[in-house]
Amino acid sequence: MGIPFLHSQRCMSTLLQCAEQHGQFAKAKAPSVETTPFCSMAHLLIIELPGGKDYDLVQAALDRGERFTFPSANLGHYREQDAVWTRLVQAQHLLEVHAKEPIDAVLCLLDIRLVEAA
């Protein structure tokens, strides 16, 4: 099962537009939130934040009521930033990936979704 391709594309465009409204993170052209039907992506994986402090995508996910998991190499870096940390603690899961067990690659075998994810 899963979200149909076009439905998923609309959801990602809407999420990117929400992020753009909160800051400079997303520059993608997306349909208007008012004309795009609301859809829920059951669970997002957000890996690190641009510049270590730009929480636009996290805020957009929270505004839409999305659940998300946030893995990081150093959660302490985010704990030191109140504005960022108050948003990250709302994650479904906060994961700290340590150097002794690093993730060498993130693989996605569903290549039809790579364009939307990029």
Tens of pLDDT, residue by residue over 9-30, are 555 666 666 666 555 444 444 4
**pLDDT over threshold 60, residue 2:** no
Q: Which residue has the higher pLDDT, 106 or 58?
A: 58
- For every residue of 27-75, DSSP letters joined together read ------TTTSPP---S-EE--S-GGGT--HHHHHHHHTT--EEEEES-H
pLDDT at 78: 95
Structure letter (DSSP) for residue 100: T
Pairwise CA distance, residues 21 & 111, whole Å: 28
pLDDT at 114: 63
Per the listing, tokens 């999420």 go with 15
Tens of pLDDT, residue by residue over 44-84, are 989 999 888 899 999 999 999 999 999 998 899 999 999 99
Structure letter (DSSP) for residue 109: -
Residue partners of 17: CB distance under 8 A and separation at least 6 = 26, 28, 30, 31, 32, 33
pLDDT at 98: 78
Look over the chain and give the mean of its residue pLDDT values, rounded to a whole number: 73
